[in-house]
Amino acid sequence: MNLVDGMEAFMHVSDMGSFAAAARKLNVSPSAVSKLVAKTEEELGTRLLNRNTRGLSLTREGELFLERCRIILSELASAREELSSISAVPGGKLRVSMPDMPLFFVPIIGTFMERYPAVTLELDFSDRLVDVVDEGFDVVFRVANLADSRLTARLLGNCAMNLVASPAYLEQHGVPSCIEELAEHICIHYRYPSSGKTEPWPLAETAARQPVFNTSLVCNSTELNLGLALQGKGIAFMARFLIDDHLKSGQLATVLEGIVEQNYRMHLVWPTRKHMPPRLRAFISHVAEHFSEMG
Task: Report the pLDDT value the prediction gives residue 209, as an integer from 0 to 100.
Answer: 54
Our count of domains for the chain comes to 3
Asked whether residue 175 falls in the same domain as residue 163, the answer is yes
pLDDT tens, position by position, 187-196: 888 888 777 7
Backbone angles phi, psi at 100, to 5 degrees: -75, 65
List the CATH number of the domain containing 69: 1.10.10.10
Q: How many CA atoms lie within 13 A of 20 on its CB side?
A: 1
Average pLDDT, the chain: 84
- 180 and 111 in a common domain: no
**Domain endpoint, select from 86, 109, 129:** 86
- φ/ψ of 177, rounded to 5, equals -100, -10
Task: List C-alpha distances in Å: 50 to 18, 41, 64, 122.
Answer: 12, 12, 14, 58
Residues 197 and 130 in one domain: no
pLDDT score for 201: 78
| Domain match, 190 and 201 both | yes
DSSP string, 170-197: HHHH----SGGGGGGSEEEEEB-TTT-P
Verify that 186 and 251 share a domain, yes or no. yes
Chosen domain end from 49, 70, 86:
86
3-state secondary structure of 159: strand
Q: Which of 86, 110, 135 is the last residue of a domain?
A: 86
| 176 and 248, same domain (yes or no) | yes
- Look at residue 211 in the predicted model and tell me its pLDDT: 62
The parent domain of residue 184 ranges over 159-264
Residues 105 and 239 in one domain: no
pLDDT of residue 112: 95
The beta-carbon contacts of 284-291 under 8 Å, at least 24 apart in sequence, are 284/139, 284/154, 286/108, 286/111, 286/112, 286/115, 286/116, 287/108, 287/112, 287/156, 288/154, 288/156, 290/107, 290/108, 290/111, 291/156, 291/157, 291/241, 291/266
Specify the CATH number for the domain of residue 224. 3.40.190.10
Regarding whether 42 and 130 lie in a shared domain, the answer is no
Query: What was the pLDDT predicted at 41?
Result: 92
108 and 63 co-located in one domain: no
pTM over 0.85: no
Residue 242, sorted as left (phi over 0), alpha (psi -120 to 50) or beta, turns out to be alpha
pLDDT at residue number 215: 67
Residue 169 sits in the same domain as residue 227: yes
Residues 216 and 270 in one domain: no
Same domain, 125 and 185: no
pLDDT along the chain (295 residues), means of 10: 86 90 88 92 92 84 91 81 70 87 89 92 84 84 67 82 91 88 87 79 59 74 90 90 89 85 79 81 91 74
pLDDT at 86: 66
